[in-house]
A and B are shown apart, each in its own frame.
Chain A
Amino acid sequence: MVVTDSFADPKVQRILDKVSNKSIEDHYNPYTLFEWPETLPEDRLWMPLELMTIHHMPAEKTLTEAELIALSKWESINFYSLNIHGIRELLVEVCRRIHTNAFAMPSEFFHHFIEEENSHLWIFAQFCLRYGGKIYPERRMPATAREPAVEQFMIFAKILIFEEIVDYYNVRIAQDESLHPFVREINRLHHHDESRHIACSRELVEALFGHVRQSVDASELPSIEEYLRQYIVACVESLYNPSAYLDAKLPVNAYQLRREALRDENRKRADQAMLKRTMGFFHSRGIFSSEVAAI
């Protein structure tokens, strides 16, 4: 069986066609879409308090308003930096497959996906460089090679996990009326595009998992689940960046604060809430054995 057969379900084709048509209708020029403010105000939050990594921790109460605002700025730069690294990785993987026989069916959708993701890449890089003067580097190690069916599935499962986590932030930032309108607008745009990408990614992941089930021994499935669960933990941990704590000049040991935050029960509850929809999807499709993330 070739991977193409994974997409034999006409429902997948229908959804990909619909999303591709919507991309054409909603087409925009990212380079002229926004009036970029010269600066963003340094006296108001850059992201909702509820999305910050110290929210509901003892440390939150010890910080001054100015320190909280500074942290919201640098955690925003970290969030958009993570977007940049995630998008770059998914663009590489999708470009590698776009004209292969195995992915002939979603190829048209991939063209729109690449264009929109490249727009997001440019917008987030502009934001980080204009308002933070930097893009935080990623601290990742390249993954090792796996059996092809598993590799294809893992790549699109990781893309979906990344898109869902980012979308959780985008929705809340776009809705928060206390934030600067420009910050809300770029998050609204990203959510608008990502909701289409997530719909397609879910179809691709489900189809590719069907192919994995037919390609590998059932005894290998727990290790696939375990890998993706660890990936989710790594994604969550990357939101807790000590470099952001250092840039915000918090009066604490940044590395110690990160360790405390990752152990904090309130933070774990907040992160479980963020992952609820993603875990629910992977569980309902039989990819995960439970809906609880191992954070």
Chain B
Amino acid sequence: MTMTQEQAERALVEFLVSSAAGDVTIDRDMDLIESRVLSSMQFMNFILLIEELTENPIAMEEMNVDDFRTLRTIRQRFLSLLPDAHGGNVGAEQGDTHV
């Protein structure tokens, strides 16, 4: 069953929170790499989760670390393939709230 962008984003946040060392609050512009919320060791599992949620393989050779730096970028880059909560693929900016 195809997810909405919001559902997929929630699943990514749950993954990041559950794999973080301590309590963490994540907003869309938080630098996931710099803050170490997304560690190099969890990176592969995070990529696989995005692939599973979007049902699309990620072409790693075309990526760089900045593509995964914030939830906003991830949403624009990968989750915009999914329908939003209103049923369209209108990009990442709708429903832009803290997660």
Known A242-B48, A255-B48, A258-B48: A139·B43 in contact at CB below 8 Å: yes
Q: Which residues of chain B have C-beta atoms less than 8 A from A23's C-beta?
A: none
| Contact of B44 with A by CB under 8 A | yes
- Distance between A137 CB and nearest chain B CB, rounded to angstroms: 4
The answer to whether A141 touches B65 (Cβ under 8 A) is yes
Contact B43 A141 (CB under 8 A): yes
User: B94 an interface residue at 8 Å Cβ cutoff?
Assistant: no
Min distance, Cβ B20 to any Cβ of chain A, angstroms: 14
Give A248-274 interface residues, CB cut-off 8 Å to B: 255, 258
In contact, B43 and A140 (Cβ under 8 angstroms): yes
Given A242-B48, A255-B48, A258-B48, A143 and B40 touching (CB < 8 A)?
yes
Segment 28-58 of B: residues with Cβ below 8 Å from A: 33, 38-41, 43-45, 47-49, 51-52, 57-58
- Give B5-36 as 1s and 0s: 1 = Cβ < 8 Å from A's Cβ atoms: 00000000000000000000000000001000
Cα-based distance from A141 to B46 in the complex (angstroms): 11
Do A138 and B60 form a contact, CB below 8 Å, given A242-B48, A255-B52, A258-B48?
yes
Query: In the complex, are the beta carbons of A238 and B44 less than 8 A apart?
Result: yes
CB–CB B44/A237 < 8 A: yes
B7 to chain A, nearest CB (A): 16
A231 within 8 A of B: yes
Kindly list chain A residues whose C-beta atoms are within 8 Å of the C-beta of B45: 237
Does any Cβ of A come within 8 Å of B96's Cβ?
A: no
Bound form: Cα–Cα A137–B59 in Å: 8
A140 B40 Cβ-Cβ under 8 A: yes
Contact call A139/B33, Cβ cutoff below 8 A: no
Q: A137 to B60, Cβ gap below 8 A?
A: yes
Determine the chain A residues whose CB is within 8 A of the CB of B57 once the complex forms.
Answer: 243
In the assembled complex, the CB of B70 is this many whole angstroms from the nearest CB of chain A, namely: 15
Interface string of A43-83 (1 = CB under 8 A from B): 00000000000000000000000000000000000000000
Residue among B41, B51, B59, B60 with most chain A CB within 10 A: B41
Scan residues 115-153 of chain A and give those whose CB is less than 8 A from a CB of chain B. Answer: 137-144
Complexed CA–CA distance, A140 and B52 (Å)? 17
Any B CB within 8 A of the CB of A230: yes
Q: Is A234 an interface residue (CB 8 A)?
A: yes
- A234 and B52 within 8 A (CB): no
How distant is B78 from chain A, measured CB to nearest CB, in Å?
13
CA distance A243 to B48 in the complex (A): 10
In the complex, whether A233 has a CB less than 8 A from a CB of chain B is: yes
Instruction: Please report the C-alpha to C-alpha distance between residue A137 and residue B44 in the assembled complex, in whole angstroms.
Output: 11
Report the nearest A residue to B47, measured CB to CB: A139
Residues of A within 8 Å of B68, CB to CB, are 141
- Closest A residue, CB atoms, query B68: A141
- The 4 closest A-B CB pairs, nearest first, are A230-B41, A141-B43, A255-B52, A137-B60
A-B contact pairs, 21 of them (CB 8 A): A137-B59, A138-B60, A139-B43, A139-B44, A139-B47, A139-B58, A140-B43, A140-B44, A141-B33, A141-B40, A141-B43, A141-B65, A144-B40, A230-B39, A230-B41, A237-B44, A242-B52, A243-B57, A255-B48, A255-B51, A258-B48
Using CB atoms and an 8 Å cutoff, list the residues of chain B in contact with chain A: 33, 38-41, 43-45, 47-49, 51-52, 57-61, 65, 68
